[in-house]
Structure 1
Amino acid sequence: MSGRRHEGVDTADVAASVHRLAVLLQAGLTPPRAWSHLARSGDETAGAVSRAFQQGRSVADVLRSRGEAWAQIGIAWQVATTVGAPLAESLRGLADALRDAHQARDDVRTALAEPQTTARLISWLPLAALGLGAALGFDPLAALTQPIGVVCLVLGGALMIITSRWTAALVARAQPDHALPGLGADVVAIALSGGVSLDRAIAVSEAAAGSPTDAETLATLDLSRSAGVPAIDLLRADAAAQRQESRTAGRLRAATLSTRLLLPLGVCTLPAFLLLGVGPMLLSVLTATPLTL
């Protein structure tokens, strides 16, 4: 089953499932039994994992197929089971990280709600102007059938389409990333909690993630080596800092969106308003039959 089908899974739901799984594991249940109990509560992913245990398939592969949030859990699961790290502790930490990331995305979505609504309302101004002209006694539709009116209609419609796509692009750039900030540091910390060396932890993490270790995590590991201090706490602190930085950046993007939305308003929406609203009314006046004295 492809991951695209599960892209809409709520991160908060994943965090709740992972937290329940961690509690079951901490209570002494084996991973197959813990996933089986979770599946009985109606969790679809837990059901898929339980079937994977019965069929001898990779749990990490099943989790990766369930969407972005579960895929990140799959990376951590593969690392923890490879090095023998404590699963309950590792999953509990990731559940907290997912909740924090979900809260950050909620904060950004809340901040984006007002400018998005304003942009949608303003984008309908040109069409509202047509209705206003008809209400005032003009005949804008008849005016738009004339050659000049057709030009106004085509240009105004094109500007409205550009406004819609431009606004959507600005809003999309302001949306937070679905990736879990600090996951690289968290995964290496999980590997180290299994008692392996730094080099082994890096190798296992990169194999699970399918990508090189990020520069920030490597810098933290270098600090641990040079200072002679345990790397696990440093990595977890670094992951927490990355999530806080991501939350702040998301709020800043949302705050600047209101200003950026003025660009399509001035460049496209107002000209479209003139072409579709004011233009037909002027044409109606100019083409009206002159009054006889």
Structure 2
Amino acid sequence: MMLVRRRASSTDADPLDTVLRLAVLLSAGLSAAAAWQHLAEDAEPIARDAAAAAAAGDDVAVVLRRAGQGWLDIAAVWAVATSVGAPLADTLREVGTSLREARDIADDVRVALAEPAATARLLAGLPLVGVPLGAVLGFDTVRVLTADPVGRLCLAAGLALVVMARVWSRRLARRAEPARVVPGMTAELLAVALAAGASIERARSLIAAERRGGALADDDDLRRAEATLDLSLRAGVPAGELLRGDAWLARRAARTEGREAAARLSTRLLLPLGVCTLPAFLLLAVAPLLIGVLRSGVSPF
């Protein structure tokens, strides 16, 4: 059987995988253009564009920014490192570790969210099971729900509640999902700039430029990093280690908050269950049975 390699699109290339491989190639002594060119041979459009930009002496960060979400932070890393003259290989390796930790955090949170979300989807279909259940018990629930005036009202109200429960549950699940930012990235890049000899004012200006470009969108990260810079200035100590500690704490806090959000989701999903799903089950499963019994004139007891 012949294997055909699927041509990757810009959305297929994994920023984390690209950064880690790029760091290895640069550590081996390859130039930036040569390293990107090797990655381009794996049919990555972003790598081809970056290789062309590096070979022409253009700004590779511009190419990475054009790739959109997921690449903005990588573009910021490249821009800051090249602006201050930081070693690209070491910088990408360090940032790659941070990106990998952020990916692990996001995966952990998604796994924690999967169980309550799956339970909500299962329970959302409970009211619809009532219709075939009535038929199994010998009642013509379909006729009652479609032909009887009261049954039609039950059908309309029940379906409306089912839809409301689904929408409500999905919104709760989306609000519990982890943010698409890398915790502590602002502090990481400030540490990179300062370690390369840039002044605090220069490092701040570089971060501000990247934020205007759409990267480093976490405002809490910026506030914590600024507070750490002020502390280092007051105490007269290097800010690098403090900033890297901030980045680690930000990732740890993100993991904890994500797990707490998953635990809260399990409780909050009881609201659409009680308010919408159970009443919908009564309207679509129980009410047609009672209507059928009453219309037939047979005592239910």
Q: TM exceeds 0.5?
A: yes
2:205 counterpart letter in structure 1: A
Q: Please give the residue correspondences for 1:177-196 in structure 2 after superposition, counting only pairs within 5 Å.
A: 177-196=179-198
- Structure 2, unmatched stretches of 5+, are 1-8
**CA–CA distance in structure 2, aligned partners of residues 44 and 269 of structure 1:** 47
SS of equivalent residue, structure 2 residue 182: coil
1:222, 1:245 → 2: CA distance? Answer: 22
**Superposed, which structure 2 residues align to 1:243-282 within 5 Å?**
243-282=251-290
Report what 2:167 is aligned to: 165
Q: For 1:54 and 1:196, how far apart are their aligned partners in 2?
A: 26
Tell me the TM-score normalised to structure 1 length.
Answer: 0.91
Determine the structure 1 residue equivalent to 2:155. Answer: 153
Q: Give the secondary-structure state (helix, strand or coil) at the position aligned to 1:63.
A: helix
* Structure 1 residue 9 displacement after superposition: 5.3
Distance (Å, rounded) in 1 between the aligned partners of 2:42 and 2:63: 19
Residue 283 of structure 1: aligned partner: 291
Q: Distance in 1 between matches of 2:17 and 2:237?
A: 33
Contact persistence 2:36–2:48 (CA under 8 A): yes
Contact 1:68/1:179 (CA < 8 Å) preserved in 2?
no
- The worse-fitting range, judged by mean Cα deviation, of 53-62 and 237-246 is 53-62
SS across alignment from 2:296: coil
Q: Does structure 2 conserve the Cα–Cα contact (< 8 Å) formed by 1:9 and 1:67?
A: no
Pairwise CA distance, 1:45: 2.4
- Distance, in Å, in 1 between the alignment partners of 2:163 and 2:58 is 48
* Structure 1: distance between partners of 2:66 and 2:255: 27
- Corresponding residue for 1:28? 29
List per-residue Cα deviations over 1:255-279 (Å, max 9, x = no partner).
1211111110000000000011111
- Corresponding residue for residue 224 of structure 1: 232
How far has the Cα of 1:75 moved from its partner? 0.8
Displacement of 1:153: 0.9
TM-score (norm 2): 0.89
What CA distance in whole angstroms lies between the structure 2 residues aligned with 1:135 and 1:237?
63
* Residues matched between the structures, number: 284
Query: Within 5 Å, which residues of 2 pair with 1:73-84?
Result: 73-84=74-85
Task: Provide Cα deviations, 1:19-47, integer angstroms capped at 9, x if missing partner.
Answer: 11111112221111111112223433212
Structure 1, 280-289 or 234-243: larger mean CA deviation: 280-289
Question: What's the secondary structure of 1:170's corresponding residue?
Answer: helix
Provide the rounded CA distance (Å) in 1 between the counterparts of 2:91 and 2:176: 31
> Does the CA-based 8 Å contact 1:15-1:96 persist in structure 2?
no
Secondary structure at the residue paired with 1:190?
helix
- Deviating beyond 6 angstroms after TM superposition, the runs of 4 or more aligned structure 1 residues are none
1:60–1:74 CA contact under 8 A, matched in 2: yes
Q: Which residue of 2 aligns with 1:113?
A: 114
CA positional deviation for 1:56: 5.7
SS of the residue aligned with 1:214?
Answer: helix
Equivalent in the alignment of 2:3 = none
For 1:86 and 1:234, locate their aligned partners in 2 and report how far apart those are by CA, in whole Å. Answer: 20
1:83, CA displacement in angstroms? 1.6
State the Cα distance separating 1:151 from its structure 2 match.
0.9
Q: Is the 8 A contact 2:155 2:283 kept in 1?
A: yes
Aligned identity (percent) is 48
Give 1:54 shift: 4.8
Specify the SS of the correspondent of 2:71. Answer: helix
User: SS state of the match for residue 69, structure 1?
Assistant: coil
Task: Give, in angstroms, the shift of residue 57 of structure 1.
Answer: 4.7
Q: Is the 8 A contact 2:135 2:141 kept in 1?
A: yes
2:32–2:54 contact (8 Å) kept in structure 1: no
2:67 corresponds to which residue?
Answer: 66
**Cα gap change, 1:258 to 1:9, in 2 (>3 Å):** farther
**Aligned-partner Cα distance in 1 for 2:54–2:115:** 47
- Whether 2:235 is the aligned partner of 1:203: answer no
Could you say which residue in structure 2 is the equivalent of 1:87? 88
Distance in structure 1 (CA, Å) of the matches to 2:106 and 2:45: 24
Alignment check: 8 A CA contact 2:15 2:74 kept = no
* SS of corresponding position for 2:29: coil
Q: Any conservation in 2 of the 1:52–1:58 contact (CA below 8 Å)?
A: yes
Alpha-carbon RMSD: 2.0
8 Å CA contact retained: 1:129, 1:277 = yes
Which stretch of structure 1 is more off in the superposition, 209-218 or 123-132?
209-218
